[in-house]
Amino acid sequence: MAQNLVALRQLGISHILSVLDSDLPSTFVPRVVAFVVGMQCPDSFLQDILIGMHISVVDDEGENLLSHFPDAFDFIHGAIEGGGRVLVHCAAGVSRSASVVISYLMKLKHIRAAEAIDMVKQVRPFINPNPGFLRQLKQYEKALSILEDSHHGNKKLGDSGGKKGILSPRRDSHAHQV
């Protein structure tokens, strides 16, 4: 645990977004994740250095992840705008956390799902959102396109924008850092 905290500090991580099934036994979850999920954490100093959000979903194509995209965007964007760095993770770092990061990039950069997927794959080549999450990302793309058309004149998805270098490679194989 101490090594994990040192690594988080070295990376400047101030916020953690967990995308996990909250029914996972705590013995399978690192203590830093247990803190985010709201389980008992004896290290009170964790609360001083980490701000957490938890999205309780299983990696199943029938699971509704789409409804969590707006809150995840607000959490990630607020952290970054406040000078923080966010670690987004799930159990394997392949489907759930990747889908959340993809949705964030879609909204931030006004890009389509395929382009956001390609951006994430440049940093983490083995991501593979499940088919249900891919469908939801396409639905989100349509919703964002409607929002862009009505709020920004004729600006279409695919116009790049936002901060450069928003994705950073990480050493942890189960998380995404934005």
> Which domain CATH number covers 119?
3.90.190.10
The candidate with the shortest Cα–Cα distance to 107, out of 59, 60, 153, 155, is 155
Q: Which residue has the tokens 């931030």?
A: 108
Residue 131 within a domain: yes
Residue 178 within a domain: no
Residue 29 within a domain: yes
C-alpha distance from residue 37 to each of 60, 73, 149 (Å):
20, 18, 37
Please state the domain count of the chain: 1
Q: Does position 1 have pLDDT exceeding 70, yes or no? A: no
User: What is residue 23's predicted lDDT score, i.e. its pLDDT?
Assistant: 54
Instruction: For residue 31, name the pLDDT band (cuts at 50, 70, 90).
Output: very low
Q: Which residue has the higher pLDDT, 4 or 140?
A: 140
Q: Per the residue annotation, which of 87, 90, 91, 144 is the catalytic one?
A: 90
Residue 156 within a domain: yes
User: What is residue 166's predicted lDDT score, i.e. its pLDDT?
Assistant: 57
Task: Please say if 90 is a catalytic residue.
Answer: yes
What pTM was estimated for this model as a whole?
Answer: 0.74
Residue 98 is part of which domain span?
Answer: 2-162+169-173
